[in-house]
Amino acid sequence: MRRGKNRLGFALYEVLLGLTIFVVGVLGLGRAVENCLNANALSEEENRVGLVLANRMAELQASPGRPDATKEMNVDTGFGVVKLIQKTVPEELQENDNTIVSGISRVILNAEWSRDGTKQNKQLVFYVYRAG
């Protein structure tokens, strides 16, 4: 009779140990899912900022006039406001035969935003050619 009670107590410890292992595993899995969701949100935020920069570059390349020397604008991306800073510098490039090519402007686009109180930025540099 005594032997049955010991076996019952041992089964209870096995169940508690198994339950503890299960709970630790579920907590670890929950943490991993949370990290994946955070990484996905950060990636989407970076993609939207990249699209803001690419859209502004396309606007400048398609416009007929020279780009403004400096310009700042705020763009709402859905993840917050991104400050877009444009700086244009005239460039004179020289060909191999020493011919100077004028009408080229180097455009620097900076996107600045804040993520969890930390300043973030991304930059895009490209050239625009306008004859005359």
Q: What's the pTM? A: 0.73
Helix (H) or strand (E) holding 10: helix 2-62
pLDDT band at 9 (very low <50, low <70, confident <90, very high): low
The first and second tokens of residue 38, run together, are 């955070």
For residue range 31-60, list pLDDT tens digits in order: 999 999 999 988 898 999 999 999 999 999
pLDDT over threshold 60, residue 8: no
Q: Which amino acid would we find at residue 40?
A: N
5 or 105, greater pLDDT = 105
For residue range 65-92, list pLDDT tens digits in order: 889 999 999 999 887 899 999 999 998 8
**Percent of the chain clearing pLDDT 90 (strictly above):** 58
State the chain's mean pLDDT as an integer. 88
Say which residues have a Cβ less than 8 Å from residue 123's Cβ, sequence separation at least 6: 108, 109, 110, 111
pLDDT band at 11 (very low <50, low <70, confident <90, very high): confident
pLDDT band at 4 (very low <50, low <70, confident <90, very high): low
In this prediction, residue 52 carries a pLDDT of 94
Give which of 33, 32, 15, 79 is closest to 52, Cα–Cα: 79
| Mean pLDDT on 93-98 | 86
